[in-house]
């Protein structure tokens, strides 16, 4: 059984309420339930964790270095575009990192085109909406 940590960054707890024209009306809990249903026949367990705090995300990444996860799936949200500190914390990890974004950030405002944290990712996915986490899981199963 593989064991993946899923980290969601700031404002993703407000999915379903925030900018529904951009992100749709589905909440993070609903995306989580949807993903869990889709992976139910697969040999993988997900731990879901969300924070709005850069510090907490960095500390969760540090803790991950002493844990037995096989991969990290992360949506750093806006911190993707700003946080060298999260990039540095991701670079400490020895497991594969998959960075996901619900939207295609390259088709949005120019400040979303720079993806700092993605430099530490082996895979980056954008624009898949609620399917993002499911495809990120599949990418790490072989
Ligand atoms: C996002 C894209 C980011 O630019 C934005 O700040 C988010 C969500 C996405 O999943 O599409 O909060 O990471």
Q: Which domains does the chain have, with CATH numbers?
A: 19-71+85-102+118-142 (3.40.50.9100)
The model's pTM is 0.98
**pLDDT confidence tier of residue 24, bands split at 50, 70 and 90:** very high
Note if 134 is an active site residue.
Answer: no
From the CB of 11, is ligand 1 less than 6 Å away? yes
Q: What is the pLDDT of residue 74?
A: 99
Residue nearest atom 13 of ligand 1, based on CA coordinates: 77
Q: What is the pLDDT of residue 141?
A: 97
User: Separation of 82 CA from ligand 1 center, angstroms?
Assistant: 12
Residue nearest atom 8 of ligand 1, based on CA coordinates: 77
- Counting from 1 in the atom list of ligand 1, the atom nearest the Cα of 77 is 13
Q: Tokens 């992976």 label which residue? A: 39
- Counting from 1 in the atom list of ligand 1, the atom nearest the Cα of 112 is 4
Q: Please list, in sequence order, all residues whose beta carbon lies within 8 angstroms of the beta carbon of residue 91, skipping any fewer than 6 positions away.
A: 120
Nearest to 44 by CA among 14, 69, 18: 69
127: left (phi over 0), alpha (psi -120 to 50) or beta: left
Q: What is the pLDDT of residue 76?
A: 99
Question: pLDDT of 37-66, one tens digit each?
Answer: 999 999 999 999 999 999 999 999 999 999
From the CB of 13, is ligand 1 less than 6 Å away? no
**HSE, side-chain direction, 13 A CA sphere, residue 22:** 14
Q: What is the pLDDT of residue 29?
A: 98
Note if 101 is an active site residue.
Answer: yes
**pLDDT confidence tier of residue 4, bands split at 50, 70 and 90:** very high
Question: pLDDT of 92-133, one tens digit each?
Answer: 999 999 999 999 999 999 999 999 999 999 999 999 999 999
């Amino acid at each position: 059984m593989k064991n993946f940590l899923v980290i969601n960054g700031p404002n993703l707890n407000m999915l379903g309420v925030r900018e529904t024209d951009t992100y749709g009306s589905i909440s993070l809990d609903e995306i989580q339930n949807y993903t869990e249903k889709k992976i139910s026949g697969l040999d993988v367990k997900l731990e879901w964790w969300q924070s709005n705090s850069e510090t907490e995300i960095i500390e969760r990444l540090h803790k991950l270095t002493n844990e037995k996860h096989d991969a990290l799936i992360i949506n750093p949200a806006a911190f993707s575009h700003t946080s060298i500190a999260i990039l540095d914390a991701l670079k400490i990890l020895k497991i594969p990192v998959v960075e996901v974004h619900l939207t295609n950030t390259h088709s949005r405002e120019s400040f979303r085109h720079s993806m700092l944290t993605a430099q530490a990712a082996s895979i980056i996915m954008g624009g898949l909406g609620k399917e993002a986490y499911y495809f990120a899981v599949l990418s790490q199963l072989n």
